[in-house]
Amino acid sequence: MKKIFFAAFLAVGCMLAGNAHAQVGHGGEPLFNHSQAKVQSDPVLMPFLDSQKFIEEDMSRVKGSGPMRIGIQHNCDIDVLENATVVKDNRGTHYLLSLSSEGATFQSLNFDRFELPEGASLFIYDRSGDFVLGSFDGTDVLKDGSFITQAVPGDELFIEYNVPAGSEQGKLHISQLCHGYKDIFHKISSVYDDAESLMKGYHGSAEGSCHINAVCPEGDDWRDQIRSVVAIQINTQYAAFMCSGALVNNTRHDKTPYVLSAYHCQEESSETGAITNFVFYFGYQTNSCNGTSGPYNRSVSGADRVAKYNYNTGSDFCLFRLSRDVPNSFQPYYAGWDRSDVASFSPGIAIHHPGGDYKKLSFPKSIVRGNGNLAKFLIVSWYTGSQNKGTTEQGSSGSPIFNADKRIVGQLFAGYSSCTNPSGGDYYGRVYSSWTGNNTQTGSLQPWLDPENTGVTTLDGLDYNQVGIDVNGEPSYQSLKVYPNPSDGNIRFDVDAMGDANYKVYDVTGRCVKEGRTILTSTTQAVDLRMLPQGTYVLHLYTSSQRYSSTIIIK
């Protein structure tokens, strides 16, 4: 909601993907990426969208008077197997399909049916073949049976679906294709150069150039916290948008993938239509301090909104739980937090994605508690003149503000600041106010970030390669790889341990719903939870030397 103070709209933007492999795939290389079969595949053409029309519409809007629209959705009815070119050889059957939306700067896909047999693989790539998503397999399906891709650059993408000989075909159906009409990394349009200068900054689509690239020396004391901040792509019924957020720690130190952002980043309206899915981008930042390119190819698709509290009566927060654990290859950091009820905090740093841009840093002058109607918010002011080191913009919404102790104390709601108006203040929903929220399970942070009800007011962050320490000084939980996940409850896990082990399963309220004992051998590492109803659970496994934890989904 950044830029219009307390107005009810979705202040978000969309984002483009990058070079090399992206999203959480299983490795491998496509077979037909650079082959003649790819060139001969006739594309399925999307209805024409006038990108320049949408740009002109955006230019006619008062700054901040509506969502930062950046992509338009095509509603589709595309059966991949029925429309694809089919190639058969001794390896199996290969389905090749290209999709084209004329003039698009990027495309992304929503599969509403994603049923891949064992051994089948899916790749998605651009025309150059330099950008490849995948491989994906049947384990990547989300709990509602769908699958989401991050954005693929250009106006044509290629789908390669490989099925082993003797296997069933499976089912792949596309219900939505996003046509990106703004290229936030290069030019908005070759025609609207004036529009480009007004809508973009020095890098990406940030309007101002006062923000500092995250890799610059000014961030050297904040390298861990920088790794916690993500860009969030929000796909809706009609368009696509973006917000910022942060991966956060909880008192179990079990690396449950919670992301804190803003309520208005997931709010549905007549303009957005129903939200269909989310994509979370990690490590989206430039390669160098003055660089104009960098990685934006690490993403996790899908999430549940486990808790939220609106801006009319609350602190404008939303807590997401990602559909899967964040891979260690992303080097994630689970940020700490401070829920203290104090009049002010010693200022630390704001880390955000202004306008869908690469990750930026801004340094506040003060962080003080609001009064009266603003009691649920922190008021953040910025340095002015030659002392200024950044502010915030649309797209920064939901991003964290850290105090000097390197803990999150709020997430961005709204404000007046900009690089041209650094004296304008910003408003962040207080972690203190969000902690109890509206005193419900789905309207407060406490049940999720302090599931054991320890009562702590501050919590330090946790690195991806650390074993956390709980409040009693005991070693915390290591991440446990569980498969398949989601499953019917009959699960296996991969742990370097032998012998007796105990386990406990907790539901989303923190209640232990099952516990038992299993024997770990080199060939058998499994538990049967099929008696539990569908839902999301946390599994704790206890061996003689270590404790393990994983979030599991039973469908």
Residues catalogued as catalytic: 264, 316, 397
Q: Distances from the Cα of 332 to the Cαs of 68, 82, 247, 465, 491, in angstroms?
A: 27, 40, 8, 9, 26
CA angle 554, 506, 254 (to 5 degrees): 100
Q: How far apart are CA 312 and CA 513, in angstroms?
A: 36
- Cβ 430 vs Cβ 374: under 8 Å: no
Among 538, 542, 540, which Cα is nearest to 551's? 538
The DSSP letter of residue 335 is B
H/E run at residue 52: helix 51-60
Residue with the two structure tokens 């399925």? 44
Q: What is the DSSP string of 264-279?
A: GGS--BTTTBSEEEEE
Q: How far apart are CA 476 and CA 466, in angstroms?
A: 9
- Cβ 75 vs Cβ 175: under 8 Å: yes
- Cβ 392 vs Cβ 350: under 8 Å: yes
Q: How far, in whole angstroms, is CA 145 from its chain's centroid?
A: 19
The half-sphere exposure of 141 on its side-chain side, counting CA atoms within 13 A, is 23
H/E run at residue 199: helix 193-199
Q: Facing residues of 179 across strands?
A: 72, 107
The DSSP letter of residue 145 is S
332, two tokens: 């994630």
CA angle 377, 380, 384 (to 5 degrees): 160
Residue with the two structure tokens 């910025």? 382
Q: Which residues contact 453 (CB under 8 A, 6 or more apart)?
A: 446, 510
The half-sphere exposure of 462 on its side-chain side, counting CA atoms within 13 A, is 27
219, two tokens: 């961030």
With 0-12 / 13-18 / 19 or more C-beta atoms within 10 angstroms meaning exposed / middle / buried, residue 376 is: buried
